[in-house]
Structure formats: C-alpha cells, structure tokens
Amino acid sequence: MERAGRAVAEAVLRRYPDARRIAAVCGKGANGGDGRIALRVLQEAGREVSEEIAAADVVIDALFGTGFRGEPRDDAARLISGINDADAPVVAVDLPSGVDASTGEVAGAVVDADVTVTLHAPKVGLVVAPGRFHAGEVEVGKIGIDAGLTRHRLVTEEILRLVPSKRAGDTKYGAGSVLVVGGSPGMSGAVCLAAEAAFRADAGYVAVATHAETLPVVEARLLEAVKAPLADVDSLAQRAGAVAVGPGLGRGDDERALVRRLLAELPQPVVVDADALFGLEPANWAGPRVLTPHGGELARLLDRESSWVDAHRLEAVQAAVDRFGCVVVLKGADTLVGAPGEGVLISASGTPALATAGSGDVLTGIVAAFLAKGLEPRLAAAAGAFAHGRAAQLVPHPRGVIASDVVAALPQALP
C-alpha cells in the first residue's frame, strides 16, 4: 500500500507540477488507503492536501478499487458526482470508481478520470468498453508484485512476430492464398478493400469471387487479384488457404444459401463478416470459422439489444463463442477475440480514426491473410486486430482517415 500510494503521488507531482492543493475522495478499503498515503506523500512534498474537493487543483479518486461490482449506492453515487463536477483534473487510483475491473462494465454512477494510475498491471476494465472510456490516460504504477495470471490477456505487438514472413523458396500460394467472396452492386468497394488488405498483410495470392454485375468494376479496381463471378467460387476455393466471405455480398436468399453451403463444405478456415453474418445460425461447419461482428451484428446474432452488447462486451463475446463454437471477434475501440475454452484476447491498438466506412472489410482481409499463412484462428484474429489498429496509428494524418489509408499503412505495421 505504501508503494501504491507513493506511485499515485508521484504521478500527480509529475503530471501537475503547478498544482498546490490536492484533494482525495477515499473509500474504506485498500483503495482508500492508497489515496490517504498519496495525500501524505504529497504533503511531504509541500502540497496542501485535503479530503474536501472544493477549490482543489487536482482530485484523487480513491473511492472504489478492484473489488467493486455492480451499482454504487446513493451515498457513493453522490461522491462520484462531486468528483465529476469538480473544476479540476481527476486522477483515479487503480481504475475509475464505478468501473468493474474484471469486465469494464458500468452499472451506474462512474468517475470520468483524466488519468488512471493502475497498480501492478493493467486491468481488463481499463481496456474494455465502456470502462476504457472513463479511464483517461492510463499509466502503470509498479508496486513490487510479480504479474499474476488472469483469464484474459491484453494483446501486445509481440503477437505480430508469430505471423510468418515470406521466405526464400516460397511460391505465391505458399506465402498465403486468400479467396474473398462478396461485392454486390453498389458494394464493390467492400470486397476490393478486403482483397487489397489481404495483399498488404503479406498474402502471396488473392482471388475475388463477386456478382457478375459487379465484376467489371472489380476488374478495373483490383490489378493484382484474380477475379471471377460467384459461379466459379468452388474452383477458386480449391487453391485458397483461407476464405473471407461477406464483404458487400448481399442478403438475398441466394447469397444466404451460398454462405450456408460454403461454411458447411469448405475445409479451410473462413472469416465470416458483414452480410455473411446476417441470419447466421450455428451448424456443423466443415472447418475453422472466425466470426467478425461489430456490436450491432453481434446483438442480432444473440437476439439481444445493441445497448446490452455495448454494456457487457466480455459477456457478449463469450456468449457468441458458446453459441457458435468458434472464434468470435467483437470489433470496437477494444477488439475482443474469444475462442472455445480460452480466455479473451483484448486488442486496444486502434485509434478513433478506424470509425470509418470500410474499416471492418480491411480487418477481414488481414485476418484471412494471417489464416492463409498458417496461423491458428484465435491468434490470427488477435494478430489481425492488432495489425489493423497499428496501421491506423501509422497513418500520418489523424483527421480524414479512410479505409484505404489503413490498407496503405499495413506493411509498416508488420515486423
């Protein structure tokens, strides 16, 4: 606790050197103890300290810690409201009060922190929405405890080193062969983005099966990919190491029948995205499947409201894994990768720039490329999500980013 309180105090001194009056709202547990020690250290450093918020230059939130669950009681909710109403930056101890450390869920009043000093190691609740949106900038305060094992894991850049690179002697097929199925009239851009992303994610060969009406547009847009009508999908699939189905495909009876057949018959891994998720039902599929829904699509798959998925992201992705028995990627500011019998992998590498049309199609192409290179589905999905976010970070202009910018930055994102 001494080290924890000191870590918080040092963060306040470093980040707010001109702050003279520091207040802390302290609970009764260990989190409150950390806050009181922080006040003592700050006082020793010459700052005026108090547990009263009025006129404070910085407010320390030490109300609830990692053991908090559910909704704050009325008296605690009033304290949280007072913290948020203070005209001062807020530094949270371990995580903002009101956030569930294990899930990121927020059931009631919650502190909106400017900075969170999380102790020992990052918490799941700081990287999974909605908790991550209340944490502000997060720094880890080392307190001399070895990292413990948890069921869920935060994905780091090291995962990209698992993606095989092209080697001397590789053929275009051996380097990763991808088939993308989609692109109805008016939606040709989706299948093109997925195909381009697969190439930029280092696949050696990409083919596209698309609607006959769309084929001339795709022919004009894609130079390197092989193009064919949907009627030829089976012959194209014979050479594919992985298949991506759904980007711009359409939701008619014929398209849905095609999706069911491909999932039932293809032995290779398949990324199932966008229109291919519409009306999807669990089945005895022929090979590994990776579903990549956003929150709204996952809500439809689970017959729940989108607001429920947004508020319970970990629970939602695990429910989908249980229902479909395969890898499920829940897209968002925090992308969650669930798999049967495994903890959730959390990728937080993205930026708000990914909130743009076509971003999901790019992710589909990346994951398909990594699957075609032989990466097992859970790791291919997590590595794809991390590379997708890293590429967005590397786009030189933060405003006006389009999906094609992310595609162009992909080679720089790979080691």
Per-residue pLDDT tens digits for 326-384: 999 999 989 999 999 999 999 988 899 999 999 999 999 999 999 999 999 999 999 99
Q: Which two tokens stand for residue 61?
A: 């939130």
Run of H or E residues at 406 = helix 403-413
> Cβ distance 104 to 127 under 8 Å?
yes
Residue 149 predicted with pLDDT over 70: no
Pick from 121-135, 177-191, 194-208: least confident: 121-135
Residues 265-299 have pLDDT tens digits of 999 999 999 999 999 999 999 999 999 999 999 99
| Residue 121, pLDDT score | 78
Sign of CA dihedral 282, 210, 221, 217: negative
Closest CA to 93 of 70, 111, 105: 111
Residue 153 predicted with pLDDT over 90: no
- Give strand ranges (E) for 120-215: 137-141, 153-154, 177-181, 205-210
Residue 43 predicted with pLDDT over 60: yes
Q: Whole-angstrom Cα distance, residue 307 to residue 106?
A: 12
| Residue 396, pLDDT score | 93
Q: Which two tokens stand for residue 392?
A: 């967005």
Using CB atoms within 10 Å of the CB of residue 107, give its burial: 0 to 12 exposed, 13 to 18 middle, 19+ buried.
middle
Residue 401 predicted with pLDDT over 70: yes
| Residue 379, pLDDT score | 94
| Strand 345-347 versus strand 335-338 pairing type | antiparallel
| Residue 123, pLDDT score | 87
Residue 147 predicted with pLDDT over 80: no
Q: Which two tokens stand for residue 393?
A: 């970070």
Q: Which two tokens stand for residue 115?
A: 């900075």
What residues pair up with 50 in beta bridges, in sequence order?
23
Residues 297-311 have pLDDT tens digits of 999 999 999 999 999
b/e for 184-214, b at 16 or more Cβ within 10 A? beebbbbbbbbbbbbbbbbbbbbbbbbbeeb
Reported as a pLDDT band with limits 50, 70 and 90, residue 141 is: confident
| Residue 197, pLDDT score | 98
DSSP string over 344-388: PEEE----GGG-STTHHHHHHHHHHHHHHTT--HHHHHHHHHHHH
Q: Whole-angstrom Cα distance, residue 248 to residue 183?
A: 4
> Cβ distance 265 to 240 under 8 Å?
no
- Number of helices (H), then strands (E), belonging to the chain: the values are 14, 16
Per the listing, tokens 């089945």 go with 283
Reported as a pLDDT band with limits 50, 70 and 90, residue 145 is: low
Reported as a pLDDT band with limits 50, 70 and 90, residue 67 is: confident
Q: Which two tokens stand for residue 398?
A: 């933060």
The backbone torsions φ and ψ at residue 142, rounded to the nearest 5 degrees and listed phi first, read -75, 130
Q: For the residues 387-411, what does the mean pLDDT come to? A: 96
Q: Whole-angstrom Cα distance, residue 201 to residue 267?
A: 22
Q: pTM of the entire structure?
A: 0.84
Run of H or E residues at 228 = strand 226-229
Per the listing, tokens 């609830």 go with 64
Closest CA to 177 of 327, 374, 413: 374
Q: For the residues 135-153, what does the mean pLDDT come to? A: 75
Q: For the residues 1-27, what does the mean pLDDT come to? A: 94
The fraction of the chain above a pLDDT of 70, given in percent, is 98
> Cβ distance 247 to 228 under 8 Å?
no
Closest CA to 246 of 285, 203, 289: 289
Q: How much is the mean pLDDT over the chain?
A: 94
Residues 230-274 have pLDDT tens digits of 999 999 999 999 999 999 999 999 999 999 999 999 999 999 999
334 DSSP assignment: S
| Residue 154, pLDDT score | 87
What three-state secondary structure class fits 87?
coil
| Residue 150, pLDDT score | 63
Residues 99-126 have pLDDT tens digits of 999 899 999 999 999 999 998 778 899 9
Name residue 414's amino acid: L
Reported as a pLDDT band with limits 50, 70 and 90, residue 24 is: very high
H-assigned helices in 97-252: 124-127, 188-200, 215-221, 233-237
Alpha carbon distances (Å) from 69 to 102, 124, 317, 364: 9, 14, 20, 35
Q: For the residues 61-81, what does the mean pLDDT come to? A: 94
